[in-house]
Amino acid sequence: MIRKLHLWLGLVSGIVVFIVSVTGCILVFEDEIRYATNPYLQNITSAGSLLPPSVLAEKARAAHGQKTAYITWEGVQHPVAVNMQGAKKRSESEVVYLDPHTGKVLGIMDMKKDFFRFILKGHYYLWLPENIGKVIVPAAVLMFLFLLITGTILWWPKKRNQLLAGLTIRWTARWRRVNYDLHNVLGFYSVLFLLIICLTGLVFGYQWFARSVYFISSGGRKMVMTHKGKSGKPMPVENMVDSIWMRQMAQVPLNESNSVVIYFPVKREDVITLYFNPDHTTRYRRDTRYFDQYSGKEVNGKGSGFGNGLYAYATPADKIKRMNFDMHVGAIGGLPGKVIAFLASLFAASLPVTGTLIWLGRKFKSKKR
């Protein structure tokens, strides 16, 4: 029964698992590949004081023609990324990269044509319409989760003296035996990491799964979605974004490892959103703060894991919720964690291939008999 379940779940989900795994391999090192292939993203050599957000926004508008949506400072050695308004989705907006000291335009990136945006759509939706892809991908990941469990049960040796054989690939054997060993041995070595990748992926794919994880980890508390505050009564004000940015710089100056993101208000009731992250290579320790765009007064947000958006106030369940993305891509373990996530995803991509070859070999063998 378990063998049949393993077989049919593998055949149904194989192609989807292969695509999601290969695209996942590429996305693990997105930042590293992006920096290596775009010279204008390399470390800057200019020095001096940092330009305020209003000046950077004006420089970007002069080069692009649109207003600024948000600005990202990722350490003092990297260019400032100014995401422009005008796109239907923020992730598809054009980005103007500037020297943070001089305001010089270093490059403009169109995210609609970006390679990693294309890969991300494959990872999320298989390049299908969003309303179709977001149903297929999580379902296939859920099937893959059961495949990992049933595969481990099938692999588990019945006797102790069979354990070594189950952990070794016999490279000198016939290709069918090598293929069988690749499927079993690589699957076993990567199963723990693939379980983490699957579970964190299901948090993104299913709201019921995310709420269940939060309910269990919090000891029975209900997860509430985050809601921003609202600005108060409109009043004449100039450069409030600059004022908030300077306030942040006075508290914690920009250095080689931290990052700051400021979202400009668009509507009259919008707040100014500020993200501060002490380590720009991960996301879970990021602090979120909202400010009235007219008075500059801090406005509280609501939702699970928020606690004024500060990491210091996060409960264990909130921290698990925050860490989900970093665990999914391996960033929580630094470069070694990313390498492990890359290899685990690569092994995951091989499993549908080796598994199908095993099935075809057995089917062909039975017909021959």
Question: Per-residue confidence at 340, pLDDT binned at 50, 70, 90?
Answer: very high
State pTM to two decimals.
Answer: 0.88
Mean pLDDT of the chain: 88
Q: For the ranges 192-196, 211-215, 231-235, which has the lowest average pLDDT? A: 231-235
Output the pLDDT for position 358.
87
Residue 225 and residue 216 in contact, taking contact as beta carbons nearer than 8 Å:
no
Contacts of 302 (CB under 8 A, 6+ apart): 224, 226, 227, 229
Contacts of 276 (CB under 8 A, 6+ apart): 248, 252, 258, 259, 260, 286, 287, 289
The residue-averaged pLDDT of 317-322 equals 90
Output the pLDDT for position 106.
93
Most confident among 78-92, 328-342, 349-363 (mean pLDDT): 328-342
pLDDT tens for each residue of 126-162: 999 999 999 999 999 999 999 999 999 888 877 766 6
Output the pLDDT for position 365.
63
pLDDT at residue 229 is higher than 90: no
CA 58 to chain centre: 30
Please report the sign of the dihedral spanned by the C-alpha atoms of residue 186, residue 192, residue 198, residue 201.
Answer: negative
Output the pLDDT for position 306.
45
Which residues sit opposite 68 in a β-bridge?
A: 84
Q: Which residue has the tokens 């600024």?
A: 68
